[in-house]
Amino acid sequence: MINKKSTLKFNRSLLPTPAHYYSREFPGLKIKSEWVKVRCCFHEDQIPSLSISMIDGHFRCFACGAKGHDIIAFHRFRYGLNFIETLKALGAHHE
C-alpha cells in the first residue's frame, strides 16, 4: 500500500526568487543591496525593523524577534499556513 503523502512532491526550483517574492509582499520595495529593511508585517511597526536577504530569503525583525531562513518560513508565518499549503501557494508543490 502506498501512502498518499509519500507521492507529494516539492520542487524548490519552482519557488520564486526572494527578490521577486518580497517585491510582491512589499509593494514599492527598493532593492539596492543584498539586505533591505521594511516595516515589519508581524507587529505594529513605525520605522523599518524587518531585515530581509534578497539572496536567500532570510528575514529577521529586530523589534519583535520574528525570524526565518527563507520565503517558505516567511509565508507560513505571515499567513498561518502549514508546510504543504505554503508550497501550494508558492507554486512549488505538485502531486
Task: Give this prediction's pTM.
Answer: 0.87
The answer to whether 57 touches 71, Cβ cutoff 8 Å, is yes
Is 5 a domain residue?
no
SS3 at position 60: strand
pLDDT digits (tens, 9 = 90+) for 32-84: 999 999 999 999 999 999 999 999 999 999 999 999 999 999 999 999 999 99
pLDDT of residue 11: 87
For residue 84, being part of any structural domain is answered with yes
Q: Is residue 4 assigned to a domain?
A: no
Domain count, the chain: 1
In a domain, 10, yes or no: no
Q: Which domain holds residue 48?
A: 18-90
- Whether 66 is in a domain gets the answer yes
Q: Which three cell numbers stand for residue 32?
A: 539596492
Flag whether 51 is in a domain.
yes
Q: List the helix and strand counts (H, then E) for the chain.
A: 3, 6
Q: What is the CATH number of the domain that holds 76?
A: 3.90.580.10
Question: Residue 73 falls within a domain, yes or no?
Answer: yes
Sign of CA dihedral 59, 15, 86, 27: positive
Would you say residue 95 lies in a domain? Answer: no
